[in-house]
Each structure stands twice: as C-alpha cells, then as structure tokens.
Amino acid sequence: MDIHQDQVPLRKDETGVIRVGDSRMHFEFVVRAFEDGVDPETIVQMYRGLDLADAYAVIAYYLRHREEVRAWLEEQDRAADEMRQKVEAAQGPLRVTRKMLKARWEALEKQRAAADQR
C-alpha cells in the first residue's frame, strides 16, 4: 500500500473566506461546531455539500494547529464585533429586545384605543 500525502482541503475564496474542500462551507463553522461537541458525521448532516472525509481532515488540521486556529477564530470574533458596532453606530441596535417589543406593542395598543374612542 502506498501512503499518500493528502493536502488539507482548505482554500480561500475570492473574498478571503476560508472554505472546506469544494464546498461553500466555512472552515470556521466546522471548527465551531466541533468545539461545541458536534461529531463530524453530524456536521456533514448539518451542512449539506460537505464531504465527510473533508470534515475529518479539517478537524484534524484544527487539532494539529489548535493555538493558531483559536487565535484566528478570536480575530474573526473581534472583526465581527467591530463590524457590528459600526453598523449599530450608523443604524442603531440590530437586536430587538423584549423591552423594545413591549414598548412598541403598548404604543400600538394606545393608538388603537384612541382610534376606538373617536
């Protein structure tokens, strides 16, 4: 039997996103699912188009380079937080809270009550 030196099935697309194999799946999603305790078979079921061998290969890569990948994930989180803050500064909060929904509902109820009294 020959032992093959398979390459890690990771690639950067034109936008700089690291994807798994020939799929559109983000490396980050696979790693985060694995960190959350999801096994490779389930990850493949979650993300259609992802090859099982590729899932195992990128998880093996993550396990061999855990510190580097963790640092990269933390940078992804920082960049996402920075982007969220920029968007919120320009547009306001993206999240609708229960308090906000309750205030909107109460305002609508007051409008309806006022309309009913006319």
Domain segments of the chain as ranges: 10-117
Which carries the bigger pLDDT value, residue 118 or residue 44?
44
- Name the CA radius of gyration of the chain, rounded: 23
pLDDT of 93 reads 62
Which carries the bigger pLDDT value, residue 60 or residue 96?
60
- Between helix 27-35 and helix 66-91 the angle, nearest 10°, is 110
The CATH classification number of 10-117 equals 1.10.10.10
Average pLDDT value for residue range 22-49: 95
Instruction: Report the mean per-residue pLDDT for the chain.
Output: 91
pTM, full prediction: 0.71
How many helices, marked H, and strands, marked E, lie in the chain? 5, 2
Confidence of residue 77 (pLDDT cuts 50, 70, 90): very high
Residues of the chain with pLDDT > 70, as a percent, come to 96
For residue 25, what are the CA distances in angstroms to 21, 58, 62, 82, 95? 8, 11, 15, 23, 26
Short-list 15, 37, 32, CA closest to 24:
15
pLDDT of 94 reads 60
Amino acid in position 112: R
